[in-house]
């Protein structure tokens, strides 16, 4: 099962999936281990602007989702700055 953006449903979803910027595609293309990994394809700008009129809308949604996961014990606090906040701050429409 996939959500409206083509990302897998179910399991413990991270803010990267519940507040999407990318569509994750499996399998990746290329030689070697590429067939065992995914690649990111940025959602079209029109979709991103509809979901997040400003970067502040995106950040608020991302932080809300991240906070819920952290409080439930599904997101390690030590990973918040290293992974989640860093990824969130990189969001742009480019």
20: closest CA among 63, 69, 72, 58?
58
At 44, is the secondary structure helix, strand, or coil?
Answer: coil
What's the pLDDT score for residue 15?
94
Q: Map out the domains of the chain as residue ranges.
A: 15-89
pTM of the model: 0.84
Residue reference for tokens 């860093």: 86
**Interval 48-62: pLDDT, tens:** 999 999 999 999 999
Measure the CA–CA gap between 26 and 49, rounded to whole angstroms: 25
Task: Report CA 3 to chain centroid distance, whole Å.
Answer: 13
Residue reference for tokens 């990824």: 87
Task: Report CA 47 to chain centroid distance, whole Å.
Answer: 14
**Interval 10-53: pLDDT, tens:** 999 999 999 999 998 877 666 777 667 778 899 999 999 999 99
> Tokens for 46?
């029109």
């Amino acid at each position: 099962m996939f959500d409206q953006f083509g990302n897998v449903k179910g399991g413990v979803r991270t803010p990267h999936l519940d507040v999407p910027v990318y569509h994750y595609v499996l399998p990746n293309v290329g030689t070697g281990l590429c067939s065992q990994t995914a690649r990111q394809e940025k959602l079209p700008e029109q979709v991103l602007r509809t979901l997040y009129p400003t970067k502040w809308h995106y950040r608020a949604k991302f932080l809300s989702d991240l906070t819920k996961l952290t409080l439930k014990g599904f997101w390690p606090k030590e990973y918040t700055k290293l992974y989640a906040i860093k990824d969130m701050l990189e969001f742009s429409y480019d």
